[in-house]
Amino acid sequence: MTVITTIPEDEATGDVARLYADDIDDQGFVAAHSKVLALNMEAYDAWEKLIGAIAHTMDKRRYELVTLAAALGVGSRHCRLAHGRKSLRFFDEDQLIRIAHDYRSAGLSDADVAMMAFAEKVSTNSSGMTNIDSLELRDFGFSDTEIVNIALAAAARNYFSRAIQALAVDVEVPTDISEELAKELVRGIPG
């Protein structure tokens, strides 16, 4: 549990109130990470603009796969759960459970698996990456722009995940996903 003192919902005004309202509209409650990051709304808004600039250029399904892989690599229970929930727009629960368990054997295309492996490696060993990593994606038909966007999406997830992990923000399990999916999304991630 974070020791950071946040703005209570009944005292939120302006941009903070807007952020809180957006969370309530989306998930029925204000997320713990929103409350903490609302203490610097300028940075939070810049994050939203950055991730929007990356995500809007990508296929939404692929964006969620990249995010799940990057969150796995960085060990973010927060982002695995939140984006697991969002991924239900693109996958049925059974397939998403298989993806969460092991995306390499979940019935995804070879291109999707390569993309996820690249994103996971951004989180686990970006300093060890070489042109070979990008060339592998190119071999699967990804354009240079798509490769850059995959790297940006994974790196941005690292930024966000590491900030909320560093602040010991509570991990909240979405109430609208099954217990089995929630367990699989965070399996093997300390917390």
Q: Could you tell me the residue range of the domain that residue 72 belongs to?
A: 9-186
Whether 34 shows a pLDDT value over 90: the answer reads yes
Structure confidence at residue 191 (pLDDT): 75
Contact assessment for residue 22 and residue 155, using Cβ atoms and an 8 Å cutoff: no
Report the CATH number at residue 33.
1.20.1290.10
pTM of the model: 0.95
Structure confidence at residue 86 (pLDDT): 96
The verdict on residue 77 lying in a domain is yes
Integer Cα distance of 97 and 84 in angstroms? 9
pLDDT tens, residue by residue, 43-84: 999 999 999 999 999 999 999 999 999 999 999 999 999 999
The verdict on residue 21 lying in a domain is yes
Handedness of CA 36, 41, 42, 47 (dihedral sign): positive
Which amino acid is present at 182? A
Residue 130 DSSP one-character state: -
Structure confidence at residue 1 (pLDDT): 81
Integer Cα distance of 66 and 64 in angstroms? 5
**H or E element at residue 111:** helix 110-125
What is the pLDDT confidence band of residue 190, given thresholds at 50, 70 and 90?
Answer: confident
pLDDT tens, residue by residue, 137-188: 999 999 999 999 999 999 999 999 999 999 999 999 999 999 999 999 999 8
Residue 79 tokens, joined:
């982002």
Mean pLDDT of the chain: 96
The verdict on residue 75 lying in a domain is yes
The verdict on residue 165 lying in a domain is yes
**H or E element at residue 98:** helix 93-102
Between CA 48 and CA 4, with CA 52 as vertex, the angle to 5 degrees is 20
Neighbours of 75 (CB within 10 A): 18
Whether 90 shows a pLDDT value over 90: the answer reads yes
Residue 75 DSSP one-character state: T
* Region 29-36 average pLDDT: 96
- The domain tally of the chain equals 1
